Structures are given as C-alpha cells and as structure tokens.
C-alpha cells in the first residue's frame, strides 16, 4: 500500500527515469566516439618509455625509462623554438579575439535584415573552407606571379610582396589569415549573447537620452563580457594546441624557424624522422603544460568570476 501511495504521490519519478535512460542511450554514440578518439590514444603514451621501432612488438622492445624526456631537454633549442612560435601565434590570436565582439556589435546595429543576413553568411563561409584551399587562394594572390605582385608590377613598383616566404612577418600574417577565416564564425556566439540581452534595457536607455553608442557601451558590451571572459579563459588554457592544418600547409624552408609550432614539431619528429618515442614524449610534455594552464585558468576564473569552468 505504501509503495502505491509513493508512486501516486510522485507521478514524474518513473517518467524521469525513462527520460534519463533515453538521453543516456542517445548520448552513447558520442560518448563512445569521445572515448575512442580522446582517451583510448592515451595508451600510446607507453611508447615514450621504450626504444620502440616500427615492426617490433612492444614486449620485445628495450625499456628506456625517462631517456627520451631527458633527450628532449638536453638539446632544447628546437623544442624552445617551437614553444615560442606556438605561444606567440596563439597570443596574437587571443589579442585579436575582441574583433569578433566588435564585428558582432556592428552587425547587430545594422537595421536591414537582408543585408545583415548576407554579411553574416558571407563572413561565416571562410570557416568552412579547408586550409588547403586557403593556402591555394593565398598563393594565387601573393606568389611571385600572383595577383598582387602583377598589379604592383603594372603600377611600376619594383618591390614584390611575399608574405608567404617572409620570416619577419610570419606571425602577423598567420594571425591575419586566422582572423579572416574565423571572424564570422566566432561572432555567432556573441550575436547569440546580444540577442539574450533584455530589450527593456535599451528602451530605458533611450528614455534616459542615451544615444546608440552609449547604449552599446553601457548595455551591449557588459552583456557580452561574461561570454568573452569564458572564451578568453578557455583560449588561454588551450594556448599550446595550434591549428596543425594551417601551419602544415604554409610551412616552407623560408619561414620554418617562425612557423614550426609544437604540433608540427611532434609531426616532424615522429612521422618525418621516425623517432616515435621522442615525439610521444614531446606530446606528453605539451599535454602536461596544457593541463597546468587549464587548472591555472580555472583558479583565476574562481577568483575573478566566482565560478569555476571545471
């Protein structure tokens, strides 16, 4: 009798249980993919502790201990160069990230719905273009016989523009390409944040005599600032993870010293040179530093926002 009363008194209990099971079943494929592509490869870290050679079973491979980690720091020039390039280019990307907020606010202020949709669609499309095509377009514009240098030659200029092979501007050039490719896509989340701002605040500001600029500064900017801070903290914690595709296609001997990031360094050590244990050790070092950055940023988030991200 008591169990029947309980069931009748909580009619939603059974339904919630079924919904929970259904949601879990729906999420199972995604959980399986996450485990397969993010956690299962961690098993490969074991190769960093052996003198592994392809074709030889791991059980027959000599144990190396921390020798590959020691080798990484015994001759650290290449590692330091890759680390500096990674931090520099990611720092520039973070420094330019507020451009997405500016673009989202400017787009939100456009009154024409058709023009707004056109600009948003046109600016988002580059995000879906592969880096191979981006390099092809860049080469068509900036190569020796490209569009830009052809026009400069016809205008009587004897100085050719070569940002693809100019080591001095590599960081800035790559940052500019990243902004062009991701600006529209990055602005989407800020447009959504602006849409979530209470419209009555703008009405009250208008009654108080505030113009559009003051309404943006005192309402829109504070409204999107929490979203920007979260994305900023996540970007800082992910500073060592670069877009490998981008730097892989733009890599050439003229700019090798400035464009080789940690991901490319791991690729060069493991795939090109064939030193899989050393490349695995470098990858583990990168993961360790990334985890430290993540927890450091989480600590800062607790202090500044009163909330943690993890």
3-state SS track over the chain: CHHHHHHHHCHHHHHHHHHHHHHHHHHHHHHHHHHHHHHHHHHHHHHHHECCCCCCCHHHCCECCCHHHHHHHHCCHHHHHHHHHHHHHHHHHHHCCHHHHHHHHHHHCCCCHHHHHHHHHHHHHHHHCCHHHHHHHHHHHHCCCCHHHHHHHHCCCCCCCCCCCCHHHHHHHHHHHHHHHHHHHHHHHHHHHHHCCCHHHHHHHHHCCCCHHHHHHHHHHHHHHHHHHHHHHHHHHCCCCCCHHHHHHHCCCCCHHHHCCHHHHHHHHHHHCCCHHHHHHHHHHHHHHHHHHHHHHHHHHHHHHCCCCC
Considering the domain architecture, whether residues 187 and 222 belong to the same structural domain is answered as: yes
| Selected residue with higher pLDDT from 188 and 7 | 188
Find, among 221, 11, 3, the residue nearest to 109 by Cα.
221
Percent of the residues in the chain that have a pLDDT greater than 70, as a whole number: 94
Q: Each residue of 41-75: pLDDT tens digit?
A: 888 899 999 998 888 888 888 999 899 999 888 88
Considering the domain architecture, whether residues 144 and 16 belong to the same structural domain is answered as: no
287 located within any domain: yes
pLDDT for 310 equals 67
Considering the domain architecture, whether residues 146 and 10 belong to the same structural domain is answered as: no
- Which residue bears the tokens 């400017």? 106
> How many domains is the chain built from?
2
pLDDT for 106 equals 92
- Please report which residue ranges of 157-275 form alpha helices under DSSP H: 170-195, 199-207, 212-215, 221-237, 244-250, 256-259, 262-267
pLDDT for 6 equals 45
pLDDT for 309 equals 66
221 located within any domain: yes
Considering the domain architecture, whether residues 161 and 291 belong to the same structural domain is answered as: yes
pLDDT band at 207 (very low <50, low <70, confident <90, very high): confident
pLDDT for 12 equals 46
Considering the domain architecture, whether residues 88 and 28 belong to the same structural domain is answered as: no
pLDDT band at 173 (very low <50, low <70, confident <90, very high): very high
Considering the domain architecture, whether residues 5 and 102 belong to the same structural domain is answered as: no
Does residue 205 carry a pLDDT above 80? yes
300 located within any domain: yes
61 located within any domain: no
Across the chain, mean pLDDT equals 86
202 located within any domain: yes
Considering the domain architecture, whether residues 142 and 274 belong to the same structural domain is answered as: yes
Highest average pLDDT, of 49-63, 140-154, 201-215, 254-268, comes from 254-268
pLDDT for 16 equals 55
pLDDT for 169 equals 92
Considering the domain architecture, whether residues 152 and 214 belong to the same structural domain is answered as: yes
pTM (2 d.p.): 0.82
pLDDT for 172 equals 94
Does residue 233 carry a pLDDT above 90? no
70 located within any domain: yes
Considering the domain architecture, whether residues 45 and 70 belong to the same structural domain is answered as: no
141 located within any domain: yes
278 located within any domain: yes
Considering the domain architecture, whether residues 9 and 98 belong to the same structural domain is answered as: no
Considering the domain architecture, whether residues 182 and 131 belong to the same structural domain is answered as: yes
Considering the domain architecture, whether residues 42 and 75 belong to the same structural domain is answered as: no
Does residue 135 carry a pLDDT above 90? yes
Q: Each residue of 2-26: pLDDT tens digit?
A: 444 444 445 444 455 677 788 888 8
Find the domain containing 28 and state its range.
1-49
What's 114's domain CATH number? Answer: 1.10.3720.10
């Amino acid at each position: 009798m008591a169990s029947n009363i309980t069931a009748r008194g909580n009619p939603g209990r059974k339904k919630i249980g079924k919904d929970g099971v259904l949601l879990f079943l729906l999420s199972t494929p995604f959980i399986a993919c996450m485990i397969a592509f993010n956690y299962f490869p961690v098993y490969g870290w074991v190769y960093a502790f052996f003198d592994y050679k392809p074709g030889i079973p791991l059980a027959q491979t000599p144990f190396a201990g921390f020798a590959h980690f020691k080798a990484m720091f015994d001759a650290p020039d290449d590692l330091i160069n890759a680390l500096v390039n990674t931090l520099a280019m990611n720092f520039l990307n973070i420094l330019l990230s507020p451009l997405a907020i500016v673009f989202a606010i400017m787009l939100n202020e456009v009154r024409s719905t058709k023009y707004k949709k056109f600009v948003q669609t046109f600016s988002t499309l580059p995000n879906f273009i592969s880096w191979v095509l981006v390099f092809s377009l860049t080469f068509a514009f900036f190569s020796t016989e490209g569009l830009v240098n052809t026009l400069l030659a016809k205008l009587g200029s004897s100085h050719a523009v070569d940002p693809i092979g100019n080591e001095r501007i590599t960081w800035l050039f790559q940052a500019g390409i990243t902004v062009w490719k991701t600006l529209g896509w990055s602005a989407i989340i800020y447009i959504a944040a602006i849409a979530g701002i209470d419209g009555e605040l703008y009405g009250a500001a208008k009654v108080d005599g505030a113009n559009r600029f003051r309404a943006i500064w005192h309402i829109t900017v504070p409204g999107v600032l929490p979203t920007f801070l979260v994305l900023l903290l996540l970007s800082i914690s992910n500073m060592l993870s670069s877009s490998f595709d981008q730097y892989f296609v733009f890599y050439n001997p003229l700019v090798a010293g400035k464009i080789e990031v940690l991901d490319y360094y791991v690729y060069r050590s493991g795939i090109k040179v064939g030193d899989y244990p050393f490349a695995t050790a470098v990858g583990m070092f990168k993961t360790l530093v990334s985890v430290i950055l993540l927890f450091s940023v989480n600590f800062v988030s607790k202090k500044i926002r009163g909330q943690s991200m993890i």
